[in-house]
A and B are shown apart, each in its own frame.
Chain A
Amino acid sequence: FLMKNSSNSNMNYDHLTQLLTKVMDEHPNNAVDVFEEMSYEVKRASLNSMQSNLRDLPQLTATELLAEQQRSLFLGKPVLPNVSEISFYLEQAEVGLGREEMQRIFLALKKLVDSERLTHCRFWGKILGIENNYIVAEAENREGEEKDHYTIEDELKEQIKEPESLEKEPFEGSPFPHSAHKPQHEVPKEAIGIGANKFAYYVCKEPGLPWVKIPSVTPAQITIARQIRKFFTGNLDKSVVSYPPFPGNEANYLRAQIARISAATQVSPYGFYQTVGDEGEEEQELYWASIEVNPDFEGVPVRELAESLKVWVHHRQHILQQGRCTWENMAEKTGEDTNEETEDEREEELDEPEVGPRLLNPLSLDAFNMPPWSSKLSSHLTPEHAIAVLRSNLWPGAFAYSSGKFENIYIGWGLKYIGEVYSPPIPPLPQKEYPDGPEITEALDPTPEEELDFKDNLEEQQAALEESEESDELEESEEDDN
């Protein structure tokens, strides 16, 4: 019993020992009278020591914590590019947001890197919206992430499924026309870190406001984004009202456009990157081979960069018609469903994989009915110190510069130049009506004369019928006789 713990403090035994020690130490005159008080005091004393401990803790950490925090400033390799240098060069390239704004963005980026513990981060650009603008940061994906952004798609899928089940039930068995619409098999999304989802993107409306990570992109979103033209509103949660309907909200649309812009306009001087691994073994490998920085890169002369597009190469993968960078054989997927109709499709789709231009393809091979890039020197007066500037005419707002180092930036409305007047795709033809047949066509109303004729005919026929019936009966009776 003595070794039992009380609800809030020591064991009974300990308490009694302490109490008796106190009595022996202090030798009070009336020990019996003050025994309860002494007991109380002993208890409080133990608590007091606890409290003093508690009070001590923050005093210890206040300076330490700061030191601990400041320590991180001196550690680790720099993950941020030198933004002031970039902004200096961008100004020569006639792009930029002004020095003050660039500095603000730089500080905001720093905050993002600190809070999210990113390994690499750079200022991607700015997308103008109607109510707000988006400042976009590009970061490398950390490993072991994601899986929480599928919610929107799942919801959408559920929405699609529900009406189907509703339609089917009431009309069972009846010869109603059934819908010929087959939902297309969705092209699977690329995994994080591959193709269009190679990087993660963070956006914020103003430097200083919280950064928001936007979900990764699906092929369906890219293919639809290619067909629609919408301004950004500046509100990530807003739905994109368009035809054809866009799967997702503005955050998804923003991500799709960023993927398209990146794939089209991220360029670097020839030789800065090299493909990983030796060429040759497998041709296909090259198309989605990864690239690394070439340690032996010595730089391309600026004059050459300004005059020729051959020395500029794309270092992002081209997005295929399918909406992915790496080709996914959809035939294998459809094969799983045992539909007769899909067999035809399978034959069609089994043809050779769709192949885009390979990585590190020179810009001079970009095709369009007008020059897709304009290149020039930043200064005519002192060309020997100028930098080479490249401007995209297809994506107004996309720039690249090189002065030994290079950088890409996009500041614009996030829309592609399409050349001709935009006309939205025409909605699919309405479905065929129930097959036309005599049983459902409406006949012309007969005129009174026709009606009379018809009646006469009918009477004649009936008369004939009766006659024939009579004869039949006769025959039958004859047969019976036999």
Chain B
Amino acid sequence: MDSCSLYYSLDLVASSGHVLTVEQRIALQTSLLILKKKYKFQRAMLWGKILGIQENYFIAQGRGESEIKDRKYLYSLDCMEWFLLPLVTESMIEEVSKAVRGHFIGEPSFVYEQIHSHGGGEEAAEGEEVIRVNEEKRLAVTVHLIDEDVSVVPRGAFIRNPLGHVQINRSFEGLSESEARRLENYLHFHERKTGNKKSITDMGEWSPAIDFLDALSDDIPKGSWSLQFECASRVCVLRSLLWPGLTFYHVPMTPQHGYIYIGFGMKNIDLPFKL
């Protein structure tokens, strides 16, 4: 959620149960502005908060020229001092997923250890290796995965220009009330993964400048989103059931939209049982 709209947008996602104190809000407004200038971001966003047992991490996201490709993540424990998160690689994701169990601690240098054994019983002694991952890496991977899986924008809010850069659509006026009730009109904000599986008739009405992202309605398993109208039925709120804690809001007929993640940073892998 954009740092400029922080003062009202936090109220719109408060229905999920998490708010920020006044102290944190003003601290964020100050520090994100400085952050934006220091790192030369086009936009600085408050990405969310990950709850740890001792401390909580605040996560900020900086976006450059291209909204999808030029992204940097920073974390902070006190909303003032921001530290850059390491870049996520495939091997890092694998390491973290093997080593990490349970809650975040709230200490970036905390080291998770997991003894991982290759192969079956007899060879276990030879193939054993200890994987060590510190919490900073885990944080980077978690944030990356959440953004990959459940970052949301309304359809039409971003356009892709001929150079391939994804930019804000300045003429976006918001979804209408009836459009806002349909999951097809919300898109994943990452590079398209699924490829073109749609039939040509479906794609007929698409505009290449707008429809370059995956729609939420194609998510597997079906029903991993909860779409409701809240705040006296004026705001459309989407909650992810896959990553509980992610809340997206959009005020129909206005360009206001945004998402925030406030949660324990754990994926809901039991989702199929719970539906």
Contacts and interface: CB of A to CB of B under 8 A. Distances in A.
Contacts of A99: 11
A101 interface: yes
B130 interface: no
A403 B39 CA distance: 40
Contacts of A289: none
A370 B53 contact: yes
Contacts of A424: 273
Contacts of B78: 380
A133 B51 contact: no
Contacts of A92: 21
Contacts of B23: 379, 381
A132 to B, nearest CB: 7
Interface residues of B, number: 36
B274 A231 contact: yes
Contacts of B209: none
A91 B273 contact: no
A130 B19 contact: no
Contacts of A104: 232
A231 B241 contact: yes
A269 interface: no
A255 interface: no
B202 interface: no
B11 A370 contact: no
Interface in A364-415: 370-371, 374, 378-381, 391, 393, 396-397, 411-413, 415
Contact of A374 (B54, B244, B273): B54
Contacts of A231: 241, 274-275
Given A128-B239, A131-B226, A380-B78, A229 B17 contact: no
B88 to A, nearest CB: 24
A426 to B, nearest CB: 14
Nearest to A127: B17
A279 interface: no
Contact of B244 (A101, A378, A413): A413
A342 B228 CA distance: 52
Interface residues of A, number: 43
Interface string B184-224: 00000000000000000000000000000000000000010
A371 B20 CA distance: 24
A415 B274 contact: yes
Interface in A428-481: none
Interface string A67-102: 000000000000000000000001110111111110
A124 B17 CA distance: 13
Given A229-B273, A396-B264, A415-B274, A97 B15 contact: yes
B94 interface: no
B34 interface: no
A101 B14 contact: yes
Contact of B274 (A132, A229, A374, A412): A229
Given A381-B23, A396-B264, A126 B11 contact: no
A133 B274 CA distance: 16
A130 B17 contact: no
Given A96-B19, A412-B17, A101 B226 contact: no
Contact of B53 (A100, A374, A397, A419): A374
Interface of B: 11-12, 14-24, 51-54, 78, 102-103, 223, 226, 228, 231-233, 239, 241, 244, 263-264, 269-270, 273-275
Interface of A: 90-92, 94-101, 104, 126, 128-133, 206, 229-231, 370-371, 374, 378-381, 391, 393, 396-397, 411-413, 415, 417, 419, 421-422, 424
Q: Which 6 A-B pairs have the closest CB atoms?
A: A411-B17, A98-B14, A422-B270, A130-B226, A231-B274, A98-B11
20 contacts: A91-B19, A96-B19, A97-B17, A97-B19, A98-B11, A98-B14, A98-B19, A101-B15, A101-B231, A104-B232, A128-B17, A132-B228, A230-B274, A231-B275, A378-B21, A379-B23, A393-B53, A397-B17, A412-B17, A417-B264
